[in-house]
Amino acid sequence: MKKIAILHGPNLDRLGQRQPAIYGSGTLKDLEQMIRAEAKRLGFSVTFFHSAHEGALVDKIHALTDRGIEAFIVNFGAYSHTSIALRDALASAALPAVEVHISDIKKREKFRQHSMTAGACRAMISGHGFPGYIEALQLLATLK
């Protein structure tokens, strides 16, 4: 069974309340339920972590790597566009990772159009809403 960690950054706990025209009306809990169902179908074990604090996310990447996690799905929110520390943490983990963005970052404000952290990931899925996380799980299922 592949063990996958899903990490969420700042403001993702506000899903359902924050800009529903951009992010939809589903909550983080709704998203986690959807991910759990698909993970179970694929035979994956999933764990979730959310923090608005960059260092906590870095620490969690290291801790999960040391505990035998096999892959990551990450949505670092605004940190995706700014954090060399998170990019380095993912790179040092040397595990498959997929970055997901609910909205299409290429159609957002200029400062959101580049992801600093995507370079440490196998793929980035952007603009597919919550189903982007299902795509990420399915992509990870194809990796050896």
Amino acid at 107: K
Is residue 101 annotated as part of the catalytic site, yes or no? yes
Q: Residue 66 in contact with residue 25, Cβ under 8 Å? A: no
Q: Given this model, what pLDDT does residue 98 score?
A: 98
CB proximity list for 120: less than 8 A, separation 6 or greater: 87, 88, 90, 91, 97
Where residue 43 sits, what CATH number does that domain have?
A: 3.40.50.9100
Q: Residue 77 in contact with residue 12, Cβ under 8 Å? A: yes
- Active-site residue, from 50, 79, 101, 133: 101
Amino acid at 60: K
Task: Give me the average pLDDT of each 10-residue run along the chain (144 residues).
Answer: 93 82 82 97 97 98 97 96 96 97 81 84 95 97 84
Q: Given this model, what pLDDT does residue 21 score?
A: 72
Does this model's pTM top 0.85? My answer is yes
Nearest to 117 by CA among 92, 142, 144: 92
Total of domains in the chain: 1
Q: Given this model, what pLDDT does residue 108 score?
A: 72
- Active-site residue, from 8, 23, 50, 79: 23
- What domain range is 103 assigned to? 3-142
Is residue 23 annotated as part of the catalytic site, yes or no? yes
